[in-house]
Amino acid sequence: MGFGYGAGAYQQVRSHGTVETADPHGLIAMLMDGAIERLTKARGHMLHGEVAAKGELISRCLDIISELRGSLDPKVETPLVGQLGALYDYMGRRLLHANLHDDPRALDEVSDLMQKLRRAWAGIPMDARQPQRPAQAAP
């Protein structure tokens, strides 16, 4: 999966407070990091039979994946947008399965996928990290 369109595959992510002024590439990275962290913690709670804590962390991870999916920009003409959307949908289904069936392998699968995405995202060159803006007409 190539990331030649960089941050252009995502819309400007806007959430709480000063996030609007943050670097869009960094915001996506923060979301991915948050998902990975919650998956690791959810796995520990799952293995210890702590159902409520596991469910809360998986729910938070589902929220993050939903935010990532919602941040994709369908106006960018690349199959990457559709592929990432499908991958996020798959991750969500696997998390629901993991929660319902106490399946740590499903959590591990989603964590591995998210870590691979995160590494690829970190590898995007600096000049490709800003979305392409239309040229302004001369006055």
- Say whether pTM exceeds 0.95: no
Share of the chain above pLDDT 70, in %: 76
Q: How far is CA 29 from each of CA 1, 14, 59, 113, rounded to the nearest angstrom? A: 17, 14, 19, 14
Confidence of residue 15 (pLDDT cuts 50, 70, 90): very low
Average pLDDT of 114-130? 87
Question: Residue 58's pLDDT band (boundaries 50, 70, 90)?
Answer: very high
Q: Quick count: other Cβ atoms within 10 Å of Cβ 27?
A: 20
Closest by alpha carbon to 110, among 65, 71, 47? 65
Contact (Cβ atoms closer than 8 angstroms) between residue 60 and residue 49: no
Q: What is the mean pLDDT of residues 16-42?
A: 81
Q: Name which of 11-20, 63-72, 76-85 the model is least confident about.
A: 11-20
- Percent of the chain surpassing pLDDT 90: 60
The mean pLDDT value of the chain amounts to: 83
> CA torsion sign, 60 to 89 to 92 to 118?
negative
Q: What is the CATH number of domain 19-123?
A: 1.20.120.340
pLDDT at 134 over 70: no
